[in-house]
Structure 1
Amino acid sequence: MNHLQLSSLNLFSSQTTDRAPEQRSAETTLACLINSESSRFLPVSGTNVFVRREASGYQAALLSLIEFEKTFGVLDDYVYLGREFDLHYFATIVEENSSKHGEFVDLRACAALLDERHAALLSYARAILNWRKTQSFCGSCGARTVARSGGHVLQCTAPQCTREHYPRTDPAIIVLVENGDEALFGRKSEWPEKRYSTIAGFVEPGESAEQAVIREVAEETGIQIESARYHSSQPWPFPGTLMLGYQAQAASRSISLNDKELEDACWLSRKQIREGLATGQFQLPTDISISFRLIEDWYNRIDGASLRTLRNRYHKDG
């Protein structure tokens, strides 16, 4: 499988929407689209997205302009997300309100119950609206900003500044470290009880993603890295991160919790994972995350059993 195929298997990555960047600067066209029957609106309130319950889970509640304004009032701001088939999608920040058309649910909580297409669309909406919400004022001079280019650019209104601000994405690495038949797992104190995951951290200014892999693993666990290989990526809209997944080989085994970011770290074999899941002494990260994918690909590489099947057998919510 190539990197494009691997990344497409990560939730939030199955983007079928044409982002249509050429439409963003066509303000007259966008104004016409907003009032057309082909437009659909995705309301977002804080971390919550507007969804509709279905028998199989959730779907994004895509509203016509009439439905939107009856529920949330006059549309006064938006971000143009793009088009799909004959529809044009817009995202907008709203105050929560009860509606027959859907309900507000935290995206992280409902992500596993969304189909991949709607998960990607809601991820896109939530991430860019979070950026919009935090950039009401210019970071250079403090003056208010105003939206341009379909909401994808915020421009400072001060005549002496007029700086343009663009959507921010923070790159972070996440890595499955191997040593023989074992993989390295870490645990943070604020996580659900018994949950362990792979090592992760933000890429710092002036370093490559591979250098970040080496630094983060050493900082958090004291383990030295011999080699690292890119696996896949995942947009992570909590609030706006791009996770760069890696598989790495360790050059050492002795663990030292250097920066105290982790409560615990340990080497685990596939057998220990099976036993831990069966006894409830070990919980995997949720399968909406690339961390689960990295662990799954490592586990399934040698063992005949499916980690996903094993996890679901012993799964505990939380």
Structure 2
Amino acid sequence: MDRDTPPHQNTFAGLSLVLNRAAERRDDGEWIAAQAGAPDARYLLLDAAGEAFMHRHREALRWLDQREYESLGLGIPASFLGLIEITPHFLLVLEETASVDQLEEVLDARRMSLRSVGLQLAADEAGLFAYAKGLAHWQREMRYCHRCAAPLELVAAGHRARCTNPDGAHMHFPRTDAAVIMLVEYEGACLLGRQVGWPPGRYSTLAGFVEPGESLEDAVRREVAEESGVIVNDIHYHSSQPWPMPASLMVGFIATASSPHITLRDRELEDARWFTPQQIVDGLADGSFLPSMALSVSYQLLAYWLKQRAGLDLDVLVANAR
């Protein structure tokens, strides 16, 4: 395949093109306070489950302006997300006890999950929602120090958690779980698998988490072998995607198998098989094949492979199959 063709930008990726995280200013309390009080400051509101407040009648985030934030009196500390041009953007996370239904009415809003609206939002808003959801999840999980169990307090505008134990005062930072996801090919066919409980006909690229002391390429080899018994080589990076559901980074690869022999070893997969481009076309047409949701890098890996291998447009094939 043509390794020089740039991949399609994945959903939630590319946020750095519009957002300056201004990480070097997070410890400057005076500067952060000035940004929070700026008339053009914007606040993204998430509920305790990580769902965002959206406009009721259009697919856009329902940002609070500085006046609304003050008038609502939520008493929630704001976490700094960054600057878009010169406009400061912040995150607000409601506690579980918050009256979310009342807030929806006051703001003429509705709450939606990242998974359900990621493709409907503008690319910058989808990226901001993903960023905010990932940060909020880490904040919610990091309540106590894992060294001494003392309570933690958020510092650095919400991007670090400091232990309140005066004998330790350990600092904790947000963490992301690295995972590999790979399209494996062999002589004009690609390897796809399905898990128990998936909708009928759904097949996806294989994936798995990176283990300690393991390179990304080694993780690709191990995961493919563990799940399907297939041995791969000639591994090439494709693209990556933030996946804060709850805290992953998906790193995508294209790999080539040394043989087509499949052995489902640990029954992690219900089925795995090789698909030619024509089989995918036929399966989409008769309803026997269902790809991953277009939100995911798995879909983009398959789309890239079909375009490179057979000149096919997966978006068009899926649209025609509806």
Please give the range of the TM-score, normalised by the shorter of the 2 chains.
Answer: over 0.9
TM-score (norm. length: structure 1): 0.93
> Which residue of 1 is the match for residue 86 of structure 2?
86
> Which residue of 1 is the match for residue 61 of structure 2?
60
Partner Cα separation in structure 1 for residue 299 and residue 165 of structure 2: 46
Following superposition, the deviation at residue 54 of structure 1 comes to: 5.4
Partner Cα separation in structure 1 for residue 79 and residue 288 of structure 2: 45
Following superposition, the deviation at residue 76 of structure 1 comes to: 2.8
> Which residue of 2 is the match for residue 35 of structure 1?
37
Give the SS at the match of 1:172: strand
Partner Cα separation in structure 1 for residue 121 and residue 208 of structure 2: 27
Deviation per CA, 1:286-307: give whole Å up to 9, x if none: 1111101100010011323311
Q: 1:178 aligns with which of 161, 172, 185?
A: 185
- Structure 1 moving runs of 4+ over 6 Å: 1-4
> Which residue of 2 is the match for residue 22 of structure 1?
24
TM-score (norm. length: structure 2): 0.92
Following superposition, the deviation at residue 139 of structure 1 comes to: 1.0
Deviation per CA, 1:119-148: give whole Å up to 9, x if none: 001110000110000001111111110111
Supply the AA of the counterpart residue of 1:59. A
Following superposition, the deviation at residue 260 of structure 1 comes to: 1.3
Q: 2:53 aligns with which of 44, 50, 54?
A: 50
Partner Cα separation in structure 2 for residue 3 and residue 100 of structure 1: 47
Supply the AA of the counterpart residue of 1:81. L
Partner Cα separation in structure 1 for residue 315 and residue 84 of structure 2: 32
Following superposition, the deviation at residue 4 of structure 1 comes to: 11
Give the SS at the match of 1:235: strand
Give the SS at the match of 1:191: coil
Change in Cα spacing, 1:305 to 1:6, as seen in structure 2 (3 Å) is: closer
1:194 aligns with 2:201: yes
> Which residue of 1 is the match for residue 116 of structure 2?
109
- Matched length: 311
Partner Cα separation in structure 1 for residue 135 and residue 4 of structure 2: 25
Give the SS at the match of 2:20: coil
Asked if structure 2 preserves the Cα contact closer than 8 Å seen for 1:48 and 1:104, the reply is yes
Change in Cα spacing, 1:270 to 1:2, as seen in structure 2 (3 Å) is: closer
Following superposition, the deviation at residue 53 of structure 1 comes to: 4.7
> Which residue of 2 is the match for residue 233 of structure 1?
240
Asked if structure 2 preserves the Cα contact closer than 8 Å seen for 1:3 and 1:231, the reply is no
Following superposition, the deviation at residue 85 of structure 1 comes to: 1.7
Could you tell which deviates more after superposition, 162-171 or 250-259?
A: 250-259
Supply the AA of the counterpart residue of 1:245. G
Asked if structure 2 preserves the Cα contact closer than 8 Å seen for 1:174 and 1:244, the reply is yes
Partner Cα separation in structure 1 for residue 293 and residue 45 of structure 2: 26
Partner Cα separation in structure 2 for residue 274 and residue 83 of structure 1: 44
Give the SS at the match of 2:127: helix
Partner Cα separation in structure 2 for residue 247 and residue 123 of structure 1: 25
Percent identical among aligned pairs is 35
> Which residue of 1 is the match for residue 315 of structure 2?
308
Give the SS at the match of 1:167: coil
Deviation per CA, 1:182-237: give whole Å up to 9, x if none: 00001011322221100000000000000000000000000001221111111111
Following superposition, the deviation at residue 2 of structure 1 comes to: 8.8
Asked if structure 1 preserves the Cα contact closer than 8 Å seen for 2:50 and 2:136, the reply is no
Change in Cα spacing, 1:270 to 1:10, as seen in structure 2 (3 Å) is: same
Partner Cα separation in structure 1 for residue 303 and residue 51 of structure 2: 29
Change in Cα spacing, 1:4 to 1:254, as seen in structure 2 (3 Å) is: closer
Following superposition, the deviation at residue 6 of structure 1 comes to: 3.4
Asked if structure 2 preserves the Cα contact closer than 8 Å seen for 1:153 and 1:167, the reply is yes
Following superposition, the deviation at residue 112 of structure 1 comes to: 1.1
Give the SS at the match of 2:67: helix
Give the SS at the match of 2:7: helix
